[in-house]
Amino acid sequence: MGAQRVVIGVDSSTQSAKALAVDVETGEVVGQGRAGHTVSGTGGARESDPRQWWSAFAEAVAATGWADRAEAVSVGGQQHGLVTLDADGAPVRPALLWNDVRSAPQAARLVEERGAQWWAERVGSVPGASFTAAKWAWLRENEPEAAAATAQVRLPHDFLTERLTGEGTTDRGDASGTAWWTGEGYDPEILAALGLTERQLPRVLAPGEAAGKVRAGGPLREGALVAPGTGDNMAAALGLGLAPGTPVLSLGTSGTVYAVTRGRPQDPSGTVAGFADALGGWLPLACTLNCTLAVDRVAALLGRDREDVEPGGSAVVLPYLDGERTPNLPYAAGLFHGVRHDTTAGQLLQAAYDGAAYSLLAALDDVLRAGGEPADDGQPLLLIGGGARGNAWQQTVRRLSGRPVQVPRAQELVALGAAAQAASLLTGEAPDQVARRWGTASGPVLDPLPRDTETLDRLALTLRQAAPLLGR
Ligand SMILES: Nc1ncnc2c1ncn2[C@@H]1O[C@H](COP(=O)(O)OP(=O)(O)O)[C@@H](O)[C@H]1O
Ligand SMILES: O=C(CO)[C@@H](O)[C@H](O)COP(=O)(O)O
């Protein structure tokens, strides 16, 4: 028998770095590690120090016990974040994260200048506040000295990959969240309008092309192969070995709903972002800013455990504590409505789950349609992310979707997808094929429940009627 071959996959997400050491042959997780990040900012601001991502990465990787032996590594990271580096490669300022909504006016201006249809056709997405282009426009306007000091612009996963290899690289999945990459290359017209040049951006690797090798002095074995990495949602799609048309709902800091599609999506309404996946296909996706953290915050305000929900009542909660992206309400705050004397704390908490799941489920068919895949209500919805472990989340999704829900036993699908990318460099297989061989998507399928149309209608009506309160 040959020696055991192990790779490391990392998820550098909003709240923490999570690393898995995985046996290439069997997919068995042989070691894991986790280290937290700090997100700072009040109001609409959300920032993190990229140097802290790097130390959390090193800590998480070391905790797997395989850092000095793993043959290859890959990094999946939170999408969109603007990392600005000076001429020496040091961060000019903290990174502006995907959920920083201060860039909402700049996003609105970008869309106003050229029209939503133009953006959807040109880059697949209508840029909202989360997109890197809007963040760069915010920086130029609000901190011109920082923009002027920026020699290189990176995304979170690019930053970590470059620290490993010394090469400025990215991949098509993460590049598609910038709003300055067309699906074929960087768009010179958009870059010129933003005062950026291609030389400031990383090289976009082809799917399966190695980013390089680990340099000496880092947290991993020198010479280990480094796979391209990608955005966290693209990595999770790889980690599930996702076939075209299978819908996924991810419940984490962000809520996302997406599918791999063969067709290039374009949604001029802006609800669905037309991302690329990490292979040669597409990943239409809708994303909310308020998901597990918002619901946990409501539970804490009510003094309840997160599982302590009760059915019934007339309360509606729109848990838009961070502003919201789907629907596009960056200036909104949370709203409690329909509360009566007999409303219980458990019903209010359930209403917060309902409000957080509502827009994601409402966007599910749009996601499939945008990529030209048929919507089939009988097909199981794959439920992943930290929230997927919670019973209240599972029951909420079953009740509001009316679909069968499959909960993969494997956790940390972003890190697993990154590990599959790393393994594919060693075996020559496609990364999604590796994940299918590892059986990462398998898990119990929960039967569908009758769709709770009464709650869905109440949420839709409240959203419409509350529009003046949720706008600017
Ligand atoms: N057993 C559980 N039940 C419900 N929610 C959970 C459970 N475990 C973790 N979570 C939620 O998962 C979230 C983290 O999910 P994760 O997918 O790791 O987030 P991210 O990758 O965005 O940092 C936490 O905010 C927490 O609310
Ligand atoms: O902005 C998006 C997708 O467009 C988010 O999904 C981020 O990629 C953050 O991911 P998590 O930290 O919640 O996993």
Q: Among the atoms of ligand 1, which is closest to the Cα of residue 254?
A: 22
How many Cα atoms are found within 13 Å in the side-chain-facing hemisphere of 340? 7
Q: Taking the model in full, what pTM does it have?
A: 0.97
Residue 460 φ then ψ, to 5°? -65, -40
Q: Are 137 and 109 in contact (CB under 8 A)?
A: yes
CB count within 10 Å of CB 199 equals: 8
Report pLDDT digits (tens) over 256-287: 999 999 999 999 999 999 999 999 999 999 99
The catalytic residues are 232
Query: Using a 6 Å CB cutoff, which residues line ligand 2?
Result: 13-14, 78-80, 98, 130, 177, 231-233, 252-254, 256, 273, 285, 287
ipTM surpassing 0.95, yes or no? yes
Q: Are 183 and 233 in contact (CB under 8 A)?
A: no
Q: Among the atoms of ligand 1, which is closest to the Cα of residue 295?
A: 27
DSSP letter assigned to residue 299: H
Q: Report the separation in Å between the CA atom of 79 and the middle of ligand 2, taken as the mean of its atom positions.
A: 6
1, pLDDT greater than 70: no
**Does the beta carbon of 255 sit less than 6 angstroms from any atom of ligand 1?**
no
What distance in Å separates the CA atoms of residue 452 and residue 462, rounded to the nearest whole number? 16
Q: Which residues, other chains included, contact 170 with Cβ-Cβ below 8 Å and sequence gap of 6+?
A: 154, 155, 157, 158, 161, 201, 202, 203, 204, 205, 228, 229
DSSP letter assigned to residue 363: H
Report pLDDT digits (tens) over 91-115: 999 999 999 999 999 999 999 999 9
**Does the beta carbon of 385 sit less than 6 angstroms from any atom of ligand 1?**
yes
Report pLDDT digits (tens) over 213-237: 999 999 999 999 999 999 999 999 9
Map tokens 């709203």 to a residue: 335
CB count within 10 Å of CB 447 equals: 8
* Residue 343 binned pLDDT confidence (cut-offs 50, 70, 90): very high
Alpha helix ranges (H) inside 154-291: 156-165, 172-175, 188-194, 232-239
80 dihedral zone (left: phi>0; alpha: psi -120 to 50; beta): left
- Dihedral sign, Cα of residue 450, residue 451, residue 452, residue 454: negative
Q: Report the separation in Å between the CA atom of 250 and the middle of ligand 2, taken as the mean of its atom positions.
A: 9
Q: Report the separation in Å between the CA atom of 426 and the middle of ligand 1, taken as the mean of its atom positions.
A: 32
